[in-house]
Amino acid sequence: SGLGLGRRADSLGLRTRGPLVRPPPKNEKLCGKYDVEITHGIHNWSVLVTGGAGFIGATLLEELKTAGVHRAVGVDNFNSYYSPELKRARARHLRELGVDVHDRSVCDADFLNYLQKEYRFTHVVHLAAYAGPRYSVRNPIAYIKSNVECSTHLLEAVRQWEPRPRLLFSSTSSAYGDTHNTTETAALKPLHQYGASKVALEEMMKVYYRIYGLAPVGFRLFTVYGPWGRPDAAVYLFTEQVSKGEVVQLYNQGLCKRSFTYVSDAIAGIVKLMYLRPLEPNMFNIGNPGEVLVTDLLSLIEKEVGKKAKREYLDSVVDALAKPADITKSKTCLGFDPKVPIGEGVRLSVEWYNQYSRSVYLTGDFLDLNVVSKSGKSVTVQLHEKS
């Protein structure tokens, strides 16, 4: 049944002949400096994906394998932030396709070096991370460990590999904070430790370019959702809560807007970036520019589930009211063009939930959360009982 993109690899252009991205940019001020792999070289790629059992990592590995990439391999530490069993279910599916996801941490540089000797990677796509704003308030050390320390172990390994693979890494729209200006050059003002840890990673990447000439391509992802998605994210969590008749908590009185990005669109953007040969560090937004009120998202889920939600409105200083995806650069320089509207994406997500999940994967550390109110008081919110 696949990991359930809804729109498959051929819709992403992975099976077509010719380049997936536009020729080298004439507008270097906007696009930055890079060359482009014009020939369709995906069949020669050898790709390492960190966080390979995660939502985006597993979906990327499946799509690359389906498209005929020469080699694709993942690493993941299967941590308990959300259900390890969900991650293992993704990994089992990948194994059926002939893709291995090794149960190792990115902090294990010796194992990364071993994999490099075996696979001679042409690309490293670094997706491994602790995600989610509210849990980062409660457990910031885990975010620094994973998103900064382990990422630095990866950088130390990759900078010494010969020949060096192309390095791509994920950041987050949370880096921008609460703002309507989300151009890639905008000031970064994160509201929580998760966003701050990703900003720290971005700065570390720049340092490795200045010292070692390692030129990575980063991408800030905007609220990616879809089948096999993260249970702590709104689409999955709201579907669960509405289905079970539980209370849905809406932060900042339900006034938050998000640029919900269906997973196949996010994967299409990442693959376009894999064709770049960067001459300097670069950053691109990957998201759907159509903002959606979280309350409108909930209404769409209610329609698909066939039940009305029980709503509770809360304040929060860690949830931005708005962070619209400005994809001017990605659209102009890469031809990135998100295709899946929110209604279709929600339908496919609820369809997957009804068929595969139904509470099985709703476990993990994220279920006990601190929500920090605007009064400065910390309120512990238990969304579900752990099982």
Reading the block at residue 104, the tokens are: 């190792």
Query: Closest Cα partner for 320 from 186, 176, 212?
Result: 176
Q: How far apart are CA 169 and CA 265, in angstroms?
A: 17
Q: Burial, 309: exposed, middle or buried (Cβ in 10 Å; 0-12, 13-18, 19+)? A: buried
- 3-state SS class at 43: helix
Neighbours of 263 (CB within 10 A): 27
Structure tokens given for 34: 């890079």
3-state secondary structure of 363: coil
CA distance 364 to 81: 5
Question: Shortest CA distance to 363 belongs to which of 61, 89, 171?
Answer: 89
Q: Let me know if 194 is a catalytic residue.
A: yes
Residues 6+ apart with CB under 8 A from 312: 247, 248, 249, 250
CB 146 within 8 Å of CB 130: yes
Structure tokens given for 190 = 């994160």
Cβ neighbours, 10 Å, residue 312: 12
List 135, 143, 194, 361, catalytic entry: 194
Q: What are the residues facing 258 on neighbouring strands?
A: 292
> CA nearest 252: which of 198, 298, 293, 196?
293
Catalytic residues: 194
